């Protein structure tokens, strides 16, 4: 990660692939991402990569796989689902896009939804030149898991939702109002992001990365640029690094304000919704006055930033953060003392620390369930190594804990913003980059407001992107929501779902 993140690649055999994952899991490592990259050579059809995060950094294990299944011609590799349960959907997505199949038993399609015909893999070698292949003739009959028993019935929600929410299907199995099982299905939009990356040059891809999941545009832009800077062997100027951190914390504040208001609204507390909506609007207006845009899309570019901050504007933003922190503290006391809000938040949607560790819950939701990991703290790149952000955890793992984490992290972000604005180094905010002369691999990881965002890039000679994989922490966290809702009542699902606030768009690649 631009010479900062302790990361290394390791080519492994099929036996070593399993042994490596098993040994690292036993040592407390977590799976950050799993994806496939097409090769199409004589010796391998594809390479499967697993980014494994341990206490000393990241290991990217790489397994070259060749066609082994005589019936289908699929490239087959050992599945990691029994070691890292969160790998299951990532493995299914790798097959849908690259025709690389894991040996794990769940082989249902995850992304295809019959949106393209059998025999078409968007990222596989020899793919059709059609940008948008014709859909399959038949509707995909997805085999949801059925719950049997007296009084059990199903409630299907989505994939089309009211308002502006993105498509996602939720299949509840319930008795009365109590949820026995929830099964999700995502990935309906088929934006073609991963394939589109291969049609862009290396130094233009950050614009697409910024649009993977719009509420995390800074995190994705920064992670993409880290990967590019790793490829190019470039270090960004100190001022650019501090500006990037400023933007990341601004994004964190905006999202936490919106979520705290929405959670109050879902608990029937309209006062909370209106007050946090007011604060978010004031915050975005201040950001717009400083940066010329309310949301910081396209502000981070390879080599640095596309915008700078004047000294007076930085002081104004710091003052706004100080005022905001005071108002948030007052609202937190109101939330804590409101009987109805406490009753709705406490013990709802619980993910115990044991369950969180087993399923790989990460980011804010993970820290609310005792998983003390934050890339800003564990792998601090500049300027977080100097800023020393505080990491806050809870062990209750319920809606109340996830709300408390938002309050804590919002206050810490306001402190960081004031510190960054006061100590912003002088100098330029962008350095020149040269395209890599040969094929290389770059990795970027940034702790977004939701959790760690990963971007991995395979680049060819010049400025060619061979493969770019952007990974959202929601891949790990969506399956945990299925467990957290068990035993709760159906009307509490919107509240529990919002307390996780996971990305649909981050799955739709």
Residue 107 has pLDDT above 60, yes or no: yes
How high is the mean pLDDT of the chain? Answer: 92
- pLDDT at residue 273, as a whole number: 98
CATH code for position 37: 3.30.460
Query: By CB neighbour count within 10 A (0-12 exposed, 13-18 middle, 19+ buried), where does 299 fall?
Result: buried
Residue 437 lies in a domain: no
| Residue with the two structure tokens 């990305």 | 503
**Hey, what long-range contacts does 109-113 have (CB within 8 A, 24 or more apart)?**
109/140, 109/142, 110/186, 110/187, 111/187, 111/190, 111/507, 111/509, 112/140, 113/140, 113/142, 113/187, 113/188, 113/190
Partners of 178 in the β-ladder: 175, 489
Task: Give the integer Cα–Cα distance in Å for 408 and 127.
Answer: 48
| In the chain, % of residues over pLDDT 90 | 80
- pLDDT at residue 71, as a whole number: 75
Considering the domain architecture, whether residues 207 and 325 belong to the same structural domain is answered as: yes
Query: By CB neighbour count within 10 A (0-12 exposed, 13-18 middle, 19+ buried), where does 337 fall?
Result: exposed
Please, what's the b/e burial string for 103-112 (b: 16 or more CB within 10 A of its CB; e: otherwise)?
A: ebeeebbbbb
The phi-psi region of residue 100 (left if phi > 0; otherwise alpha if psi is between -120 and 50; otherwise beta) is beta
Residue 73 pLDDT grade (very low, low, confident, very high; cuts 50, 70, 90): confident
Task: Give the integer Cα–Cα distance in Å for 13 and 418.
Answer: 49
Q: Name the CA radius of gyration of the chain, rounded.
A: 23
Considering the domain architecture, whether residues 118 and 221 belong to the same structural domain is answered as: no
More confident call, 495 vs 436: 495
- pLDDT at residue 44, as a whole number: 62
Considering the domain architecture, whether residues 130 and 212 belong to the same structural domain is answered as: no
Residue 171 lies in a domain: no
Residue where one domain finishes, among candidates 109, 142, 175: 142
The residue-averaged pLDDT of 200-206 equals 93
Query: What is the bridge-based pairing of β-strands 300-301 and 75-77?
Result: unpaired
Task: Give the integer Cα–Cα distance in Å for 412 and 176.
Answer: 42
The residue-averaged pLDDT of 290-295 equals 94
The residue-averaged pLDDT of 290-319 equals 95
Question: 477 with 489: CB under 8 angstroms?
Answer: no
The residue-averaged pLDDT of 467-471 equals 96
- pLDDT at residue 464, as a whole number: 87
Residue 132 has pLDDT above 90, yes or no: no
Residue 458 lies in a domain: yes
Residue 190 has pLDDT above 70, yes or no: yes
**Could you give the maximum distance between any two Cα atoms of the chain, in Å?**
70
Residue 485 lies in a domain: yes
- pLDDT at residue 15, as a whole number: 94
Residue 435 lies in a domain: no
Residue 16's domain comprises 7-142
- pLDDT at residue 130, as a whole number: 52
Considering the domain architecture, whether residues 106 and 235 belong to the same structural domain is answered as: no
The residue-averaged pLDDT of 486-490 equals 97
- pLDDT at residue 54, as a whole number: 87
The half-sphere exposure of 411 on its side-chain side, counting CA atoms within 13 A, is: 15
Residue 6 pLDDT grade (very low, low, confident, very high; cuts 50, 70, 90): low
Residue 134 has pLDDT above 80, yes or no: no
Residue 128 has pLDDT above 60, yes or no: no
Residue 176 lies in a domain: no
Partners of 300 in the β-ladder: 305
- pLDDT at residue 208, as a whole number: 97
How much of the chain is in helix, strand and coil states, percent to nearest 5?
A: 40, 20, 40
More confident call, 143 vs 44: 143
Task: Beginning with the edge strand found earlier in the chain, give each strand of the sheet holding 178-185 in spatial order.
Answer: 152-157, 169-175, 178-185
Please, what's the b/e burial string for 166-205 (b: 16 or more CB within 10 A of its CB; e: otherwise)?
A: bbbbbbbbbeeeebebbbbbbbbbbeebbbbbbebebbeb
Task: Give the integer Cα–Cα distance in Å for 267 and 279.
Answer: 19
CATH code for position 401: 1.10.645.10
- pLDDT at residue 3, as a whole number: 39
Considering the domain architecture, whether residues 89 and 217 belong to the same structural domain is answered as: no
Question: 370 with 354: CB under 8 angstroms?
Answer: no
Chain segment 36-64, per-residue pLDDT in tens: 998 755 456 789 999 999 878 899 999 99
Residue 1 has pLDDT above 50, yes or no: no
Residue 121 pLDDT grade (very low, low, confident, very high; cuts 50, 70, 90): confident
The residue-averaged pLDDT of 208-213 equals 96
Question: 215 with 255: CB under 8 angstroms?
Answer: yes
- pLDDT at residue 55, as a whole number: 79
């Amino acid at each position: 990660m631009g010479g900062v993140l302790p990361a290394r690649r390791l080519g492994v055999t099929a036996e070593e692939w399993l042994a490596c994952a098993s040994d690292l899991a036993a040592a407390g490592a977590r799976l950050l991402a799993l994806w496939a990259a097409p090769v199409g050579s004589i010796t391998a059809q594809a390479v499967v990569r697993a980014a494994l995060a341990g206490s000393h950094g990241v290991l990217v294990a790489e397994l070259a796989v060749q066609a082994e299944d005589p019936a289908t011609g699929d490239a087959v590799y050992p599945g990691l689902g029994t070691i890292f349960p969160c790998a299951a959907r990532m493995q299914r997505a790798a097959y849908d896009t690259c025709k690389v199949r894991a040996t794990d038993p769940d082989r249902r399609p995850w992304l295809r939804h019959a949106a393209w015909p059998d025999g078409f893999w968007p990222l596989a070698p020899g793919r059709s030149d059609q940008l948008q292949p014709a859909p399959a003739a038949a509707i995909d009959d997805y085999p949801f898991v059925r719950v049997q028993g007296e009084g059990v019935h199903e409630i299907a929600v989505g994939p089309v939702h009211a308002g502006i929410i993105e498509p996602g299907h939720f299949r509840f199995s319930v008795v009365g109002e109590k949820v026995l099982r929830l099964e999700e299905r995502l990935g309906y939009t088929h934006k073609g992001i991963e394939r589109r990356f291969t049609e862009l040059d290396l130094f233009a891809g950050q614009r697409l990365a910024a649009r993977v999941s719009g509420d995390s545009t800074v995190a994705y832009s920064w992670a993409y640029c880290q990967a590019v800077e790793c490829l190019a062997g470039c270090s960004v100027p100190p001022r650019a690094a501090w500006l990037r951190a400023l933007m990341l914390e601004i994004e964190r504040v905006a999202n936490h304000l919106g979520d705290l208001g929405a959670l109050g609204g879902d608990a029937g507390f309209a006062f909370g919704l209106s007050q946090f909506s007011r604060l978010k609007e004031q915050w975005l207006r201040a950001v717009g006055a400083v940066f010329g845009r309310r949301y910081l899309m396209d502000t981070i570019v390879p080599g640095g930033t596309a915008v700078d901050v004047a000294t007076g504007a930085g002081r104004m933003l710091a003052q706004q953060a100080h005022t905001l922190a005071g108002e948030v503290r007052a609202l937190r006391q109101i939330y804590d003392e409101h009987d109805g809000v406490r009753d709705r938040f406490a013990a709802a949607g619980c993910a115990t620390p044991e369950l969180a560790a087993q399923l790989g819950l990460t980011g804010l939701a993970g820290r609310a369930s005792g998983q003390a990991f934050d890339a800003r703290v564990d792998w601090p790149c500049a300027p977080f190594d100097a800023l020393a952000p505080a990491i806050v955890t809870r062990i209750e793992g319920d809606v109340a804990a996830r709300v408390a984490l938002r309050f804590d992290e919002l206050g810490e972000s306001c402190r960081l913003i004031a510190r960054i604005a006061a100590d912003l180094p002088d100098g330029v905010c962008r350095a020149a980059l040269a395209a890599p002369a040969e094929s290389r691999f770059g990795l970027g990881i940034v702790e977004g407001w939701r959790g760690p965002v990963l971007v991995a890039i395979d680049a060819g000679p010049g400025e060619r992107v061979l493969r770019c994989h952007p990974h959202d922490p929601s891949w790990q966290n969506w399956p945990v929501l299925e467990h957290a809702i068990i035993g709760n009542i159906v009307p509490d699902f919107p509240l529990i779902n919002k307390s996780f606030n996971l990305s649909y768009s981050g799955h739709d690649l």
